[in-house]
Amino acid sequence: MKTSIAALLVVIAVAAALLTYQSEKERMQEPVQEPVQEPVPELVVQPQPESAAEATTRSVKVFFFRPSVTNPGKVDLGSSTEEILHQSNPTAMALSLARAALAKSGALVGPRAGVEQVFLLEDGTAIVDLARQTAGQLRGSVACELGLLRSIARSLTTNLEEVEGVRFILGGQEAKTLAGHVSLSTVFR
């Protein structure tokens, strides 16, 4: 009994579906006005360098990783005083500093490594966006990876009073590690 009722229902369902399909098909043939898409505003703000006429330099302390022969696990940072272009915009200054620190650690990373962006948050955290290629360019293991990150962070926190801590992202996205060891969820100070 149940089977025959079920079969009848299936027949009714098929008929209903066919009718609906045909009606909907006719309705769909009517032209539909596309909603107008508002342009999405660009969110990325590129730091602008000062004009050449106003350009002055500023002495900054740039940190770099110095491997220790006697204690290879220790992350020792050396520093040197460098002259970099002074910029009143702290974000632009932070970007210059981060690039200077990375350049100073040239022996650690290859030529394709780079800093793409720096973002300053209101709570004093600087987000440093490293180029994706930086990960594959690192020559070394745990100490070198940590040394590179700390040297960039220390260069920012020492020279910019707006920066209290530094976090790193890779290729514009959050990443677990730079080269498989050191946690990038860490805030470096």
Q: Among the candidate windows 10-18, 51-59, 91-99, 153-161, which touches other proteins by CB under 8 A?
A: 10-18
Kindly write down the DSSP assignment for every residue of 7-44, as one continuous string: HHHHHHHHHHHHHHHHHHHHHHTS--PPPPPPPPPP--
The reply on whether position 144 binds other proteins by CB under 8 A is: yes
The reply on whether position 12 binds other proteins by CB under 8 A is: yes
Q: How far is CA 97 from the centre of its chain?
A: 17
Report strand pairing: 165-170 vs 76-86.
Answer: unpaired
Kindly write down the DSSP assignment for every residue of 103-124, as one continuous string: HHTTTTS-TT--EEEEEE-TTS
Q: Among the candidate windows 21-29, 56-64, 119-127, 163-171, which touches other proteins by CB under 8 A?
A: 21-29
129: its two tokens:
């966006």
The reply on whether position 123 binds other proteins by CB under 8 A is: no
Angle CA 177–100–141, to nearest 5: 30
**Which CB atom, from 15 or from 45, has the smaller least distance to other proteins?**
15
Taking CB under 8 A as the criterion, the residue among 77, 84, 127, 184 binding other proteins is 184
Give the contact letters, 73-102, x = binds to other proteins (CB under 8 A), - = no.
Answer: xxx---------------------------
- Do residues 145 and 134 touch, judged by C-beta distance below 8 A? no
**Which CB atom, from 23 or from 57, has the smaller least distance to other proteins?**
23
The reply on whether position 44 binds other proteins by CB under 8 A is: no
115: its two tokens:
């800093």
> Where along the sequence are the contacts to other proteins (CB under 8 A)?
2, 5-6, 9, 12-13, 15-17, 19-20, 22-24, 26, 67-75, 107-108, 139-144, 146, 176-177, 180-186
